[in-house]
Structure 1
């Protein structure tokens, strides 16, 4: 009992961590709560599986002679069925909230109505397709009316198993492959350079794409004033007063600096045509999505740049004889305790972490090989199943004869490790899944509500098939799980498809992933690969990425410098009292910016501040104030240091 309490507690804390890591701060609390409980049921459904296996084994040995044990099994089946029912309810509830969050309507009543209509359309289409399929099977004498219930159960489970097979075909190879490549810091750094280049180009292209969209709206002669998006420009359209409230709602999602820029260019749109309410709803949805997406891309770009700078410093440190990490942004401590911390920080990042990734890559490769053969043995019963032999026989008793007291714990570990790894491989594919640039789980609190709902739906769809797949891997019968969810092979023609199609798909995906045959295909469907070839085009992208890294370093250096510059009571720079502090950083980047030019630029910043209304952020701890981001960006843009 204590073990289960610890597992549930750790699961709760881990889910809170995931929600906090991925969910955007602007998402309402009830959306996060729904997402939390949905994920809890999905993960709990899998982690209850070892309990099911335990009861099946007890049932096998006790042969139902104990009435108390009978009651325990019955209670467990009721709990399992209750969780499954709640999961099914969430499967119907989550799409409603997903459509509600995606809707471009301006009132709650309109959003609810739009969500209900959209979901009803999907359910009606699915219902008529299913009825047509059943009628066709009955016409072909494949099934009878008594087989309809079994057919529905088999189709539901079969779809889930297919989804698990697709995810495992990617995860079983991608996870050890990724760890092995992250062992090579130079390859990892070049990968970040390419990502930085592609992301930066995407931002620039998106800017002009949206500008073209703005010109298209101008050609339609619309009366609307609207500003839109970080880096994607904005809208400014003249409208009637009847849409003023809706326009204000739209502009709430647009950054203030883009609104200010938009107001400066509001006079070039002249139109006498009326702007429809339906077009305004569509525009609201587009602007909301694009604003969030651009903010997300900028955050990702900053994160990738930080990682690239970090690994560049690690590589430079490895190439030197120093025992401390040499970095522009990491200053070693002069105290004894700080020196110990710096040394262990160096050992961990430059020595231990690489070896740990290499070891885990080998371990995961062995686990993937083991799971692959176990998955094939599910669909082809004639193949040997070593895992079943270990679990069902007493070989562990003889191997661990002198540790027989730990026999049950060792057996539990052997049972749960493959289950955890299979779950990790399946959920890994979902976590890195990016659907057409819209749905995706993004860290740094950059995931919108619609994406959270979308992946909550898929977590609910995958969790039960993962557990069902594992039960079949162990060749365990009469489990509470099968009692609750049913069997996939109740219909003869589905059993044949199960025997041949699923192993073929799994083998095909694994081979394609090993030899990188389908990297472009995986990029199309959203599963981005940790892979690139050393082509001339990618070498150019690497060089461009290095240029952007250099510009970002200038930006970060200047921000650090401004942090150490005090302002007097009138908000002016007091350079005479800060000469020593500035000299601290002179040695760090004297090769990039000369000190005389730097002083001159700081003097220009004084004039810029006096001529413009710049916000000065007050520090409560040390009573110092430093220049705002507006000053920083002005300096960097003026000197071509800003990306």
Structure 2
């Protein structure tokens, strides 16, 4: 146990607290730098988001200090880091009210301000206030109901207004925090357990690949539709569009349209985003178009980043598996976007193999076991803190000293308390990243959207106070002597309803814990059938993979083929050719041909090669262990589902319009074409010439045997549709 020398003067504790706050500031800046480009990000974004991260992190420091400072006894050596009462009260007031203002006012308004498509700051602010009007109506309506309840209970409003506002904010934050934390307490250890199995980790990456690829492809389609709409808008030079030429030129600069064809409007696959341009161009229309274009750009960046990260993980994981034979591990050339530890290493190929193949899995198993035990302790403490607080495990892990019959928190207890709080906050915050939130918000490395950054920062600020006070209730009666309880706790317990809610509602943590533990999200989705994902459920992927499908996104085999094709460069070439075809389409037409992604069974060339040379986006050749494509079809992506024929005819529409006899003829022809001619039948046919009248289009009368022609897959003699009188050039059956 580490002992910190203390004295009646709090100067050493003040120095320690200042150094800790400086370290917290550095960590917050590094987090911002990871998700946002600091040099190009405006100050109105960096400053509030920084404080939204810094203030909750400072609560992790304030709570242990408050616990150690609350026991005012003569034995100062029993305490750890402590501060006087006045300093703590000022610190809690500043921290709480700044967090409150950021959560309910500053961050929501700035988030809608950054998401607004208007150009002028005044118009953006008014649009933000209009967007938040419904939100504030719900908040103030709930506050009015709370005021009525307090007035009925106490018949006066001396301290009721402030207490009601603080209590309602705490209750709403506690509901969200308990649900998210319950899911995270299961998700974090389970993820570590599963990642310890290297082959299982690769299988989950392959199952996830078709889903990510399809989302990336859909995001590119949505962006192309909006870019075509901007291109058509740029062609208008007169009328109402002449008043907004500067705005339209800014929209053109946001797009990726080639300068040689600034006004092309080609046929792209319909996604619902490409709408008709109104006859009268208004400021509201341009603002909405700007908003949708910016969102589409960030959505594409999000899924492209996720797809690249998935490919990198697949290559590394497969390389780790393949290194079991050679006992050497080499990841190849390092990506330019790799971190410091990836670019600089002291490992040799053999020590790298030992580290990744043996040490890391066992380390993950040990950490997962420890965190599983910690999760069980948190859930148990939530259940017993109301009726049997003396059975709380967290209480005995933090309080180590008993002086004059009163519990004391030393330096070791303060460190343990900080670790408990960090794990509880991490469980809730990790669950936020897994939630399928509205408008597709996501954290993207170095390219997070401004509105997404504001939204995630507001969630961090909203969850900090409820989780902090909820942790303090684990410690029995000692927390009632703290400054934080005097500032917030007694206001929450002002009414019996607040007291019962504070003690009984955390027991509902069993609902998200059981839902995440037993995979209830996937089961509910299969029963209801709406196809709406609330949280990423790994159990759903594993269960669906065991049945051979992943709800329309393909099995792990299709994901394996998709990854191999991407690493070989085939998918990139297809997307490039598809863009060229789209660019050359006729103006105003939606019937331009779109190249469909080929199946893995079709191989180009005589040697059966799948794609070009072994160039990968990470400088690693496919020989790192990713197996090549098999004879199974590729992933069921949207690019293949909406493919068009070479003549501009939609194949899906053609299949829907054919009659029964045409469909029967096509199916019989496809069935017979796939037959392989037996060897003995080929030997019998050798040397037998067909008569001239049976030669078809062969003028010299020489042709292959009947058996050979039946296996050719395209000869006239094997076309079953002739039996129905339909052997015309268009392949249709004539009744």
- TM bin, normalised by shorter chain, reads 0.7 to 0.9
Alignment-derived partner of residue 416 in structure 1 = 418
Structure 1 residues 206 and 408: alpha-carbon distance in aligned structure 2, compared to 1, 3 A threshold: closer
Is the counterpart of residue 546 in structure 1 residue 563 in structure 2?
no
User: Partners in 1 of 2:557 and 2:173 — Cα distance?
Assistant: 44
User: Partners in 1 of 2:612 and 2:351 — Cα distance?
Assistant: 39
User: Partners in 2 of 1:270 and 1:416 — Cα distance?
Assistant: 57
User: Partners in 2 of 1:271 and 1:454 — Cα distance?
Assistant: 31
Q: Given that residues 100 and 112 in structure 1 are in contact (C-alpha distance below 8 angstroms), is that contact kept between their aligned partners in structure 2? A: yes
Structure 1 residues 340 and 328: alpha-carbon distance in aligned structure 2, compared to 1, 3 A threshold: closer
Is the counterpart of residue 279 in structure 1 residue 296 in structure 2?
no
TM-score for both structures, normalised by structure 2: 0.64
Q: Secondary structure at the match of 2:132?
A: helix
- TM-superposed deviation, 1:126: 2.5
Q: Secondary structure at the match of 1:48?
A: helix
Q: Secondary structure at the match of 1:486?
A: helix
Alignment-derived partner of residue 265 in structure 1 = 265
5 Å-filtered alignment, 1:20-31, equals: 20-23=33-36, 27-31=41-45
Superimposed CA distance per residue, residues 353-385 of structure 1 (whole angstroms, 9 cap, x where no aligned partner): 111111100010011111111122233346622
Q: 1:380 aligns with which of 377, 381, 387?
A: 387
User: Partners in 2 of 1:307 and 1:359 — Cα distance?
Assistant: 22
Is the counterpart of residue 350 in structure 1 residue 357 in structure 2?
yes
User: Partners in 2 of 1:550 and 1:70 — Cα distance?
Assistant: 58
Alignment-derived partner of residue 29 in structure 2 = 16
Structure 1 residues 132 and 413: alpha-carbon distance in aligned structure 2, compared to 1, 3 A threshold: closer
5 Å-filtered alignment, 1:1-400, equals: 1=13, 3-23=16-36, 27-57=41-71, 59-60=72-73, 72-91=84-103, 92-135=105-148, 138=151, 141-146=152-157, 148-149=160-161, 150-206=163-219, 226-227=230-231, 238=236, 240-256=241-257, 263-265=263-265, 273-318=279-324, 320=325, 322-325=326-329, 341-381=348-388, 384-392=391-399, 394=401
Q: Given that residues 68 and 82 in structure 2 are in contact (C-alpha distance below 8 angstroms), is that contact kept between their aligned partners in structure 1? A: no
Greater Cα offset, 141-150 or 16-25: 141-150
Structure 1 residues 237 and 507: alpha-carbon distance in aligned structure 2, compared to 1, 3 A threshold: farther
Q: Secondary structure at the match of 2:555?
A: helix
Q: Given that residues 177 and 428 in structure 2 are in contact (C-alpha distance below 8 angstroms), is that contact kept between their aligned partners in structure 1? A: yes
Structure 1 residues 154 and 597: alpha-carbon distance in aligned structure 2, compared to 1, 3 A threshold: closer
Q: Given that residues 226 and 235 in structure 1 are in contact (C-alpha distance below 8 angstroms), is that contact kept between their aligned partners in structure 2? A: yes
- TM-superposed deviation, 1:37: 2.3
User: Partners in 2 of 1:382 and 1:236 — Cα distance?
Assistant: 69
- TM-superposed deviation, 1:473: 1.0
User: Partners in 2 of 1:521 and 1:154 — Cα distance?
Assistant: 33
Structure 1 residues 235 and 182: alpha-carbon distance in aligned structure 2, compared to 1, 3 A threshold: farther
Alignment-derived partner of residue 483 in structure 1 = 486
5 Å-filtered alignment, 1:539-578, equals: 540-555=554-569
Structure 1 residues 187 and 375: alpha-carbon distance in aligned structure 2, compared to 1, 3 A threshold: same
Q: Secondary structure at the match of 2:538?
A: coil
5 Å-filtered alignment, 1:462-473, equals: 462-473=463-474
Alignment-derived partner of residue 515 in structure 1 = 518
User: Partners in 2 of 1:471 and 1:106 — Cα distance?
Assistant: 47
- TM-superposed deviation, 1:390: 4.8
User: Partners in 1 of 2:503 and 2:121 — Cα distance?
Assistant: 49
TM-score for both structures, normalised by structure 1: 0.73
Q: Given that residues 189 and 312 in structure 1 are in contact (C-alpha distance below 8 angstroms), is that contact kept between their aligned partners in structure 2? A: yes
Alignment-derived partner of residue 661 in structure 2 = none
Q: CA RMSD in A?
A: 4.0
User: Partners in 2 of 1:54 and 1:483 — Cα distance?
Assistant: 15
User: Partners in 1 of 2:496 and 2:472 — Cα distance?
Assistant: 20
Greater Cα offset, 423-432 or 283-292: 423-432
Structure 1 residues 489 and 520: alpha-carbon distance in aligned structure 2, compared to 1, 3 A threshold: farther
Q: Given that residues 23 and 445 in structure 1 are in contact (C-alpha distance below 8 angstroms), is that contact kept between their aligned partners in structure 2? A: yes
User: Partners in 2 of 1:595 and 1:344 — Cα distance?
Assistant: 42
Greater Cα offset, 11-20 or 353-362: 11-20
User: Partners in 2 of 1:437 and 1:471 — Cα distance?
Assistant: 35
Structure 1 residues 253 and 27: alpha-carbon distance in aligned structure 2, compared to 1, 3 A threshold: farther
Alignment-derived partner of residue 448 in structure 1 = 449
User: Partners in 2 of 1:594 and 1:314 — Cα distance?
Assistant: 32
User: Partners in 2 of 1:467 and 1:164 — Cα distance?
Assistant: 10
Structure 1 residues 158 and 28: alpha-carbon distance in aligned structure 2, compared to 1, 3 A threshold: same
Superimposed CA distance per residue, residues 559-608 of structure 1 (whole angstroms, 9 cap, x where no aligned partner): 9xxxxxxxxxxxxxxxxxxxxxxxxxxxxxxxx9999999x999xxxxxx
- TM-superposed deviation, 1:208: 5.6
- TM-superposed deviation, 1:461: 1.2
Structure 1 residues 262 and 302: alpha-carbon distance in aligned structure 2, compared to 1, 3 A threshold: farther
- TM-superposed deviation, 1:555: 2.6
User: Partners in 2 of 1:557 and 1:277 — Cα distance?
Assistant: 40
Structure 1 residues 459 and 206: alpha-carbon distance in aligned structure 2, compared to 1, 3 A threshold: closer
Q: Secondary structure at the match of 1:474?
A: helix
User: Partners in 2 of 1:160 and 1:96 — Cα distance?
Assistant: 19
Structure 1 residues 382 and 440: alpha-carbon distance in aligned structure 2, compared to 1, 3 A threshold: same
User: Partners in 2 of 1:364 and 1:70 — Cα distance?
Assistant: 29
Higher Cα Rg, which structure: 2
- TM-superposed deviation, 1:431: 3.8
Q: Secondary structure at the match of 2:568?
A: helix
Structure 1 residues 526 and 40: alpha-carbon distance in aligned structure 2, compared to 1, 3 A threshold: farther
Q: Given that residues 95 and 119 in structure 1 are in contact (C-alpha distance below 8 angstroms), is that contact kept between their aligned partners in structure 2? A: yes
Q: Secondary structure at the match of 2:569?
A: helix
Q: Secondary structure at the match of 2:329?
A: coil
Is the counterpart of residue 528 in structure 1 residue 540 in structure 2?
no
Q: Given that residues 29 and 50 in structure 2 are in contact (C-alpha distance below 8 angstroms), is that contact kept between their aligned partners in structure 1? A: yes
User: Partners in 1 of 2:461 and 2:264 — Cα distance?
Assistant: 49
User: Partners in 1 of 2:264 and 2:128 — Cα distance?
Assistant: 37
5 Å-filtered alignment, 1:428-447, equals: 428-442=430-444, 444-447=445-448
Structure 1 residues 101 and 360: alpha-carbon distance in aligned structure 2, compared to 1, 3 A threshold: same
Q: Secondary structure at the match of 1:255?
A: coil
Q: Given that residues 314 and 325 in structure 1 are in contact (C-alpha distance below 8 angstroms), is that contact kept between their aligned partners in structure 2? A: yes
Q: Given that residues 112 and 451 in structure 2 are in contact (C-alpha distance below 8 angstroms), is that contact kept between their aligned partners in structure 1? A: yes
Structure 1 residues 552 and 243: alpha-carbon distance in aligned structure 2, compared to 1, 3 A threshold: same
User: Partners in 2 of 1:501 and 1:547 — Cα distance?
Assistant: 48
Structure 2: runs of 5+ lacking an equivalent = 1-12, 269-274, 336-343, 404-408, 526-530, 574-602, 614-633, 640-735
